[in-house]
A and B are shown apart, each in its own frame.
Chain A
Amino acid sequence: MMSANAPLVSIKSLRKSYGPYIQVLKGLDIEMKPGERVVVIGPSGGGKSTLLRVMMGLEKIDSGSITFGGEPYISSKGSDKKTVIDTEVRRSIGMVFQHYTLFPHLNVTQNLILAPCKVRGENKVSATKRAHALLDRFGLGAKANAYPAQLSGGQKQRVAIARALMLDPKLMLFDEVTSALDPELVAEVEQVILQLAAQNMPMMIVTHDMWFAKNIASRVIFCAGGVVVEDGPPEQVLGSPKEERTRDFIDRVFHIRH
């Protein structure tokens, strides 16, 4: 059972490598409280996206464990270090990807109701009703019957967020969701995520957009070389970082933006 004080997510000594030589996560420890909005920043190849993919249960791990809401979620067991993922727990987590990943053969409504109908056995009428309400909320009511190819990048990404929300996730993961967008479309997607933040949806966000990070984060983690380098409130990590490596990174990022 989820108790009020228990961490929502608890990641312990998480290690992950691709092949024998490329270690991406080198013993990560992160504890996330309910209601927190964690933004993960850091240089490319630092393990940010891998962390989110592992949390979504999309990757095998080498060692370590993750609990969710106090329940065991991901661990590596036995002598062959087999990754064990509790798929029931996984259903409480929603994820939005960089490249939209809408199903091209289904229209917007069908994209939204596929999982509720097939995974949860919800009937089509009630799922459709919920889908349309959600689309209206995100300003996409007119696109309910459009196909993904007929949408702009910003619209696709908002649909992808709505699709994840259809399953009432208790945690949302956003993996560079605005990186593939044209600059003028970034704001509409970030607005939707800010709207979710206003409703206290717990989330973990990987982004390169420092303005967005500052506005949405309740906590910022700077991740580099597969470990957590700095972890704290946004004012600290983004404003006056303690660690040399964080400072270097922040300086470079903001330099480019000036």
Chain B
Amino acid sequence: MGYSFDFQSIAFGPLLDGLAVTLQLTATANLIGVVLGFPLALLIMSRFAPIRLPAMLFVEFFRCTPAIVQIVWFFYCVPMLFNVFLGSMTMGILALGLNLMAFNAEAYRAAIQAVPREQLDAGIALGLNPLQRTLYIVLPTAVRASIPVLLTNGIGIFQQSALVAIVAVQDLMYQAKTLATETYRPIETFTIVALVYFAVSFPISQIVGFLERRRQLMMS
């Protein structure tokens, strides 16, 4: 091939700046997703259709459209429709955060519905009222059960966050593209960037595996 690798000319400074932005996007989106996903899960389980249907529509919109379309839509359409522009970073966070919120709501819902009926029967037999059963039996069990999925969704959004580069958020991917163009070193740049994404995601996915194995042991 005759290509001579040159990792020397890759400037790590901009890449680190980019990584900081990426981590900030991920952390904020996860904060939104983990916290607001829960009440959203309660809404989609409501018996009252005027509450349930809009919530379901919201969730399905994010689950059934590509993330890149959602990001572009937030960046271009929200400012035109509502005449507000909050800066590309905020728009990126909103798009990723709401997307994660929808996915996490589904994770919470599945975990809540997976609480065995017998556990609730035991709660009734012990005289706990419906609110106490929810607080002391359903919530602790469901939140624990949903942790592996929340973490998986969380790393998912860390990787999806690379998409915001197309709306000029200066994240890791954006810095990499700039660097690759400036140095004419796309192979080196993108290899390093891929390794960085991997280095962050891999340990977390290992933790997920560990938690799931431990959980199976707990349930047996």
Contacts and interface: CB of A to CB of B under 8 A. Distances in A.
A139 B125 CA distance: 24
A119 interface: yes
A115 B119 contact: no
Contacts of B218: 104, 147, 149
Given A97-B122, A99-B118, A149-B218, A105 B128 contact: no
Contacts of A95: 125
Interface residues of A, number: 27
Given A104-B218, A118-B132, A149-B220, A167 B121 contact: no
A76 B121 CA distance: 21
Interface in B109-151: 116, 118-119, 121-122, 124-129, 132, 136-137, 140-141, 144
Contacts of B219: 104, 149
A163 interface: yes
A91 interface: yes
A95 B126 CA distance: 8
Given A105-B141, A149-B220, A56 B132 contact: no
A164 B126 contact: yes
Nearest to B125: A95
A57 B124 contact: yes
A167 B126 contact: yes
A131 interface: no
Contact of B119 (A90, A103, A164): A103
A90 B127 contact: yes
Nearest to A105: B140
Interface in A100-122: 101-105, 114-115, 118-119
Interface in A15-60: 53, 56-58
Q: Select the residue from A56, A94, A114, A163 with max chain B CB neighbours within 10 A.
A: A114
B217 interface: yes
A53 B127 CA distance: 14
Contacts of B129: 87
A134 to B, nearest CB: 15
B111 to A, nearest CB: 13
Nearest to A57: B124
A244 B170 CA distance: 85
A87 B129 CA distance: 9
Contacts of A149: 217-220
Contacts of B125: 56, 58, 93-95, 97, 164
Given A104-B219, A118-B132, A149-B217, A97 B127 contact: no
Contacts of A94: 125
A190 to B, nearest CB: 21
Contacts of A105: 140-141, 144
B122 to A, nearest CB: 4
B127 A167 contact: yes
A164 B218 CA distance: 23
Contact of A58 (B124, B127, B128): B124
Contacts of A87: 127, 129
Given A105-B144, A118-B128, A97 B136 contact: no
Contacts of A90: 124, 127
Contacts of A118: 128, 132, 136
Nearest to B118: A101
B136 A114 contact: yes
B126 A115 contact: yes
**What 8 A-B pairs have minimum CB-CB distances, sorted nearest first?**
A101-B122, A115-B126, A95-B125, A119-B127, A149-B218, A91-B127, A105-B140, A101-B118
Given A103-B141, A105-B141, 9 more contacts: A53-B121, A58-B121, A91-B127, A97-B121, A101-B121, A114-B126, A114-B136, A115-B126, A167-B127
24 contacts: A56-B121, A58-B124, A58-B125, A87-B127, A90-B124, A94-B125, A97-B122, A99-B118, A101-B116, A101-B118, A103-B119, A103-B136, A104-B141, A104-B218, A105-B141, A114-B126, A114-B136, A115-B128, A119-B127, A147-B218, A149-B217, A149-B218, A149-B220, A164-B125
